């Protein structure tokens, strides 16, 4: 595993991290590691979900247009049903 060192943390931020770590019964290092993990993996998962939803919407829209164009070329759905 890789180690990192973060310099020049604001004192108020350090106190908040310390308090949060104590509330969760872990060290500041463990708490910082958990925060980083949540933020990074949560953001990546949200980005992937957004991209997948956009892809599904694009496929659905393209499919709808393709179907419409095919039926429009022969006079639409009413023409097929004999109306």
pLDDT tens column, 66-79: 888 888 877 776 65
What's the whole-model pTM score? 0.51
Residue 2's pLDDT is: 87
Residue 55's pLDDT is: 77
The CA distances from residue 55 to 45, 49, 65, 73, 81, in Å, are 15, 10, 15, 27, 33
pLDDT tens column, 11-58: 999 999 999 999 989 999 999 998 888 888 776 666 777 777 777 777
Residue 43's pLDDT is: 67
47: tokens are: 């980005």
| H or E stretch covering 13 | helix 11-23
Determine contact, residues 59/65, Cβ cutoff 8 Å. no
């Amino acid at each position: 595993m890789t180690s990192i060192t973060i310099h020049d943390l604001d004192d108020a931020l350090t106190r908040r991290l310390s308090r949060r770590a104590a509330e969760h019964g872990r060290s500041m290092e463990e708490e910082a590691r958990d925060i980083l993990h949540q933020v990074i993996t949560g953001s990546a998962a949200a980005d992937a979900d957004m991209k997948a939803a956009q892809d599904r919407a694009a496929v659905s829209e393209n499919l709808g247009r393709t179907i419409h164009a095919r039926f429009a070329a022969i006079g639409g759905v009413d023409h097929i049903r004999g109306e």
